[in-house]
Chain A
Amino acid sequence: MSVQVWTYLIVGLTFAIYIGIAIWAKAGSTKEFYVAGAGVSPIMNGMATAADWMSAASFISMAGLISFMGYDGSVYLMGWTGGYVLLALLLAPYLRKFGKFTVPDFVGDRYYSNTARTVAVISALFVSFTYVAGQMRGVGVVFSRFLEVDINTGIVLGMGIVFFYAVLGGMKGITYTQVAQYWVLIFAYMVPAIFLSIMIAGNAIPQLGFGGTGSDGVYLLDKLDNLHKELGFAPYTTGAKPMIDVFAITLALMVGTAGLPHVIVRFFTVPKVRDARISAGWALIFIALLYTTAPAIATFARLNLINTVSNQAYAELPGWFKKWEKTGLLAWMDKNGDGKIQYLGKKANGGDPFEGKKPEFTKEIGKSGELLMSNKPTDNANELFIDKDIMVLANPEIGRLPNWVIALVAAGGLAAALSTAAGLLLVISTSISHDLIKKQINPNISESAELMYARIAVGVAILVAGYFGINPPGFVAEVVAFAFGLAAASFFPIIILGIFSKRMNKEGAISGMITGLVFTAAYIVYFKFMNPAMNKPEFWFLGISPEGIGTIGMLVNFAVSFVVSRITPAPPEEIQELVDSLRYPKGAGEASAH
């Protein structure tokens, strides 16, 4: 069977499963809609959290990023896993004991203030919308590359599926769909990785394989370091970023992870405090499986790519090169007219092969058979353009794996994007129906009316997200730094202080949250949007890039909250008792909002 037929078959089958689960898991109350009735087993919640957490970016882009960044890519590996330790130790059990539905719930009650609640709602909405636009785009990209439908049609199809199970089942439907999506995505990620590892390193475990040797007996990583040196790229295993920036980015990602509302809310869905603790552990095991495989794929793919293309004649390249060239993920400009591909890094007179971010093909064919471009060539010697996403997407073809594996990767990418989008959409709808309507505008609203508002809010959120997916703002990549930086600088410190400091009061929390947010947002906006020309290490504060500035924002938040809380009155007696009750598990019982 052809790749097309396989893809329709596998993607269609997975979609049928998701819809079946949605019908089975219809939500009947707001509690089922917001937190799946707080009845999800810890292992199931761990799987759902893993699928929720691993987005289209983790699945499609991360291995490619590491492939190009080498050691520097470790910021993503450590940053997007280490946050779960913070969650399990510092946040999840206490928030579960608190027993409400949302992060703004906690902020509003603990700091006895609707101002604090409103600041938290706005941050939660901003962070979640930022994120979800990227997921919808991811759905469209997978559809267009594998099923050869138009990107926009793909987005509409994806919206339809999410609409069905999110509106019907709320958190309950989303949770059990995410469990299924976890299996689809992890299977789709591991199969090609294991094949590649056997092929290149002769070891079926990729995590060990990339530390092994190739058929010539040379260690793969040593071979890669040598190739990088020869071709003028930064060394693969030591990287090029300054240490302080690596440190700051890793910390901002970890703390940001622990502060993201769609991750935190997952720990409200388990029955007990001790389930919340262990559930974070299960989640990290399921995440670690993919995250420890990604650097192996990165190494294999990088070696494979360099060996296949560097100094080879274009006419003799394997078929996958030409296939992916058509999608614009690869492009070759024969600057010196020798018919061979020169792939060179900055230290060997390489760099960007041409001006502009993407190849603009003219529909003419060059003398070696390559697609010609209208981009202006740069004056360095590098001739090859590679999009980082190709590392995962084209891997099965590079490894000459059977057609069904290629189809599986498509289904996996869709599962990753849809599961994350659904989790985010739920946070958005809960923020509106619960934190705004129920808690602020109309506290006397009936259960069934609140549930209806929640469903309408999901529907509207899907439409807005779809709109951003079809008309992506040019800065989608830039705003990801925003989401993590803001979560790190706003939620994380005030939740931690709310649990670990009884003396922390509303004055401290609000001023800390606002200064942290403003500082971080101002720094990112300045370097990313107002003055991108200055976005260079010599102009950065302490040499920290906008990606890592959330770390400083978090410290600012901690410092301001501390100082302000000491010069303003202590919180009321009942709040101090509330904090006491958070600190031991007994009596957690049911999550309740009323």
Chain B
Amino acid sequence: MEKAKLQEYWKINLGYLIGLLVTWFVVSYGFGILLAEPLNAIRLGGFKLGFWFAQQGSIYVFVVLIFVYVALMNKLDKKFDVHED
């Protein structure tokens, strides 16, 4: 594969990674820890919101993040013709 195209592919990949990892950080370290106290003022049924993110919400978002990345990369691999067979 030619260098310039590979570099472009890699750059787009890095862009996806940054976006997804920022989300990863915000839901767990942000909502679940750093902002847990102010968020706890908001209620989700019996859950305080900060507590809910720390014990439930962040885990659900983690799962979604991986599947979003898989979908994005499968498309990108095809577009740049670097997919496997």
Q: Which residues of B contact A273 (CB under 8 A)?
A: 84
B63 cross-chain contacts in A, Cβ below 8 A: 281, 284-285, 288
* Option from B1, B24, B56, B67 in Cβ contact (under 8 Å) with A82: B24
Tell whether, in the assembled complex, residue A238 and residue B51 are in contact, meaning their CB atoms are under 8 Å apart: yes
Instruction: Give the CA-CA distance A314 to B47 in the complex, in Å.
Output: 34
Which residues on the A side are within 8 Å of B73 (C-beta)? Answer: 93, 274, 277
A147 CB to nearest chain B CB (Å): 33
Q: Do residues A74 and B55 form an inter-chain contact, with CB atoms below 8 A?
A: yes
Closest A residue to B69 by beta carbon equals A89
Beta-carbon contact of A274 and B24 below 8 Å: no
Say which one of A28-36, A219-227, A420-428, A452-460 lies at the interface with B.
A219-227
- Which of A78, A89, A246 is B58 in contact with, Cβ under 8 Å? A78
Q: Do A74 and B52 touch (CB < 8 A)?
A: no
In the assembled complex, which residues on chain A have CB atoms less than 8 Å from the CB atom of B42?
Answer: none
Give chain A residues whose Cβ lies under 8 Å from the Cβ of B67: 278, 281
**CB within 8 A of A81: which of B37, B40, B62, B82?**
B62
Q: Which of A211, A246, A291, A584 contacts B1 (CB 8 A)?
A: A584
Contact of A295 with B56 in the complex, beta carbons under 8 Å? yes
CB <8 Å contact, B10 and A583: yes
Q: B69: which A residues are within 8 A, CB to CB? A: 88-89, 277
Q: Is the CB of A243 within 8 A of B55?
A: no
- Chain A residue numbers with a CB within 8 Å of B54 are 71, 74, 77-78
CB distance from B27 to the nearest CB of A (A): 9
Q: State the CA gap A88–B73 with chains docked (Å).
A: 11
Give bound CA distance, A588 to B77, whole Å.
13
Say how far B30's CB is from chain A's closest CB, in angstroms: 11
Asked whether B47 lies within 8 Å of A250 as measured between CB atoms, the reply is: no
Whether, in the assembled complex, B45 has its beta carbon less than 8 Å from a beta carbon of chain A, the answer is yes
Pair A274/B74 contact, Cβ less than 8 Å: yes
Minimal beta-carbon separation of A198 from chain B (angstroms): 16
Complex contacts, B51 vs chain A, CB 8 Å: 71, 74, 221, 237-238
User: Which residue of A is nearest B9, CB measured?
Assistant: A584
Question: A90 contacts the other chain (Cβ, under 8 Å)?
Answer: yes
* Distance in angstroms between the alpha carbons of A280 and B73 in the assembled complex: 14
Q: How far is A395 from B8 in the complex, measured between Cα atoms in Å?
A: 55
Q: Which of B20, B21, B59 contacts A78 (CB 8 A)?
A: B59
> 1/0 contact trace for B48-81 toward A, CB 8 Å?
1001101110111011011101100110010011
Are B70 and A213 in contact, with the CB atoms below 8 A?
no
Cα distance, A221 to B51, chains bound together (Å): 10
- On chain A, the residues within 8 Å of B59 by CB distance are 77-78, 81, 288, 291-292
Number of interface residues of A (CB under 8 A): 50
Main secondary structure of the interface of A (DSSP, over half): helix
Tell me the bound Cα distance from A308 to B52 in angstroms: 26
The CA-CA distance from A291 to B9 in the complex, in Å, is: 35
Collect the chain A residues with CB atoms within 8 Å of residue B6's CB: 580, 583-584
B55 contact from A77, A272, A274, Cβ within 8 A: A77
B66 lies within 8 A of A274 (CB) = no
Nearest-CB residue, chain B, relative to A275? B84
Is the CB–CB distance between A85 and B83 below 8 Å?
Answer: no
Counting chain A CB atoms within 10 Å of each CB, the highest count among B6, B10, B48 belongs to B48
CA distance A174 to B60 in the complex (A): 28
* Nearest CB of B to A212, in Å: 6
The answer to whether the Cβ of A207 comes within 8 Å of any Cβ in the partner chain is yes
- Expressed in whole angstroms, the Cα–Cα distance for A183 and B69 within the complex equals 27
Contacts of A39 in B (CB 8 A): none
A585 at the B interface (CB under 8 A)? yes
Other-chain residue from A84, A243, A277 in contact with B62 (beta carbon distance below 8 A): A84
Q: Does A586 contact B (CB under 8 A)?
A: yes
User: Contacts A212-B45, A272-B84, A288-B59: A238 and B70 contacting too (C-beta < 8 A)?
Assistant: no
Binding site for A on B (CB under 8 A): 1, 6, 9-10, 13, 17, 20-21, 24, 28-29, 32-34, 36-37, 40, 44-48, 51-52, 54-56, 58-60, 62-63, 65-67, 69-70, 73-74, 77, 80-84
Task: Known A-B contacts: A84-B62, A251-B29. Give 7 more (CB < 8 A).
Answer: A74-B51, A210-B46, A250-B29, A281-B63, A281-B70, A292-B60, A585-B83
26 interchain pairs, CB-CB under 8 A = A71-B54, A74-B32, A77-B55, A78-B54, A81-B62, A82-B28, A85-B24, A85-B62, A85-B66, A88-B66, A89-B65, A210-B46, A211-B44, A238-B40, A250-B29, A274-B74, A281-B67, A281-B70, A284-B63, A284-B66, A288-B62, A583-B9, A584-B1, A584-B82, A586-B83, A588-B84
